[in-house]
Amino acid sequence: MPAEKIITILGGGVGGLVTARELRKRLGKEHRIVLVDREARHVFSPSFLWLMVGSRRPEQVWRDLSRVSRKGIEVVSGDITAIDPESRNVTVEGRTIESDYLVVSLGADLRPEAVPGLADAGHNLYTLEGATDIRDTREGVTRGRLVVLVASMPFKCPAAPYEAAMLLEDDLQKRGVRNNVSVTLFSPEPGPMGVTGPENSAAVKAMVESRGIEYRPQHKIESVDPDSRTLRFEDGTEEPFDYLAYIPPHAAPEVVVDAGLTGDSGWVPVDRNSLETKFKGVYAIGDVTGIPLAVGLPLPKAGTFALGQARAVARTIAADVSGKGEPGVFNGHGECFIEIGQGKAGIGMGNFYAEPRPTVKIRKPRCIWHWAKVWFEKRWFPKWA
């Protein structure tokens, strides 16, 4: 029987949870699987878009993380204060966890404070609290200008701001106030989802503009004045708003930076197939990573990739521990739903590792893709949490 091994997984989001569950299925009970997160709950963030327009309740989109302890996974709640990738030891509020393998799945920290005035001026689309605030206050939007703002690049879930603008526009239509409210989307990107190629980018842009939404690319926010409700961009232009939903700047967690895991991109460099870092036995998956593609852009930060990477890493570690099976390989394939409202969604899918450019196809919005996302959401908690 192999000697006991300890695999510690940092982060209880999509990547961390899937890694833990997959490892538990593949390894005997003599091996310890430890899942560490500062939050006591697992939140399914793809449902935030439905939450913000009242199609979901907050309690429907999260579960207590301790539930996975029933599956033989040790759950540790607390702030991670230090990571030593050389020894694979982790410090959680004074407690040291020694590990044989370490998986870093801590995602991206959201930093609204990086843009002066932003946090006080609007609602954060990427938090449970922010999405709930949008739900609770949106019915007060009956006239004026509604703005969806992407603060900086990169940001996770590249389709989300476009989905948010279309779903909020659809909500205005349902409430009968669309004629009194304009909708504008500002982004520093040259076009939507540019890594998928110019044809797909144009298709998403057409979806947005077909709904009468004003799309303003290449607008990088500098500051926001909450009192005058004014957006100030780096090119010197200013734009008014009455209601603001924003995606804040993203950054790698400080504890990951302090551990020396990040590279020149500010994110964790990994082998693109194995997800191993420069430290042996230390892997990084999901939004915390920076994986360059042939087109000169990074692999998008999206749950579909975290899911595939988690499965690959779990298979690799299980094979190494047990001496059985083949290592896992992440092949760069992924898919993403694009909700447009009216009970329809598009879907983009393909190989992002393809060269000389990703081979991705975005299918036209249909009811079937909307219901496919609903089905995926309904299966998530029973399967993983």
What's the pLDDT tens digit per position in 274-319? 999 999 999 999 999 999 999 999 999 999 999 999 999 999 999 9
Percent of the chain with pLDDT over 90: 99
User: Measured between alpha carbons, how far is 4 from 22 in angstroms, rounded to an integer?
Assistant: 18
Query: Is 364 part of a structural domain of the chain?
Result: no
What's the pLDDT tens digit per position in 202-211? 999 999 999 9
Query: Is 84 part of a structural domain of the chain?
Result: yes
Question: Are 139 and 89 found together in one domain?
Answer: no
Alpha helices (runs of H) in 210-253, residue ranges in sequence order: none
What's the pLDDT tens digit per position in 99-143? 999 999 999 999 999 999 999 999 999 999 999 999 999 999 999
Structure tokens at 2: 């192999």
The residue written with tokens 């521990």 in the block is: 321
User: Measured between alpha carbons, how far is 100 from 102 in angstroms, rounded to an integer?
Assistant: 7
Q: What CATH number corresponds to the domain at position 212?
A: 3.50.50.60
Query: Is 341 part of a structural domain of the chain?
Result: no
Identify the domain boundary among 333, 350, 380: 333
Question: Are 293 and 272 found together in one domain?
Answer: yes
Question: Are 271 and 213 found together in one domain?
Answer: no
The residue written with tokens 């907050």 in the block is: 58
List the one residue out of 282, 333, 332, 291 whose CA is nearest residue 105.
282
Query: Is 319 part of a structural domain of the chain?
Result: yes
pLDDT > 60? residue 188: yes
Please compute the mean of the pLDDT values over residues 335-352 and round it to a whole number: 96
pTM for the predicted model, two decimal places:
0.96
Please give the pLDDT value at position 2. Answer: 61
Query: Is 350 part of a structural domain of the chain?
Result: no
Please compute the mean of the pLDDT values over residues 182-187 and round it to a whole number: 98
Question: Are 242 and 126 found together in one domain?
Answer: yes
Question: Are 95 and 140 found together in one domain?
Answer: no
Instruction: Give the total number of structural domains in the chain.
Output: 2
Query: Is 340 part of a structural domain of the chain?
Result: no
Identify the domain boundary among 189, 214, 249: 249
| Residue numbers of the domain that contains 143 | 111-249
Question: Are 184 and 195 found together in one domain?
Answer: yes
Question: Are 145 and 76 found together in one domain?
Answer: no
Please give the pLDDT value at position 3. Answer: 77
- Count the neighbouring beta carbons within 10 Å of the beta carbon of residue 192: 24
Please compute the mean of the pLDDT values over residues 246-274 and round it to a whole number: 98
pLDDT > 80? residue 50: yes
Identify the domain boundary among 214, 249, 284: 249
Alpha helices (runs of H) in the chain, residue ranges in sequence order: 14-26, 48-52, 118-121, 128-137, 160-174, 198-209, 254-258, 303-322, 367-384
Question: Are 291 and 233 found together in one domain?
Answer: no
Query: Is 378 part of a structural domain of the chain?
Result: no
User: Measured between alpha carbons, how far is 262 from 253 in angstroms, rounded to an integer?
Assistant: 10
Question: Are 133 and 245 found together in one domain?
Answer: yes
Question: Under DSSP, is residue 226 helix (H, G, I), strand (E, B) or coil?
Answer: coil
Query: Is 384 part of a structural domain of the chain?
Result: no
Please compute the mean of the pLDDT values over residues 254-261 and round it to a whole number: 98
What DSSP line would sit under 307-368, residue for residue?
HHHHHHHHHHHHHHHHS-SPPP----EEEEEEEEETTEEEEEEEETT-SSS-EEEEEEEEHH
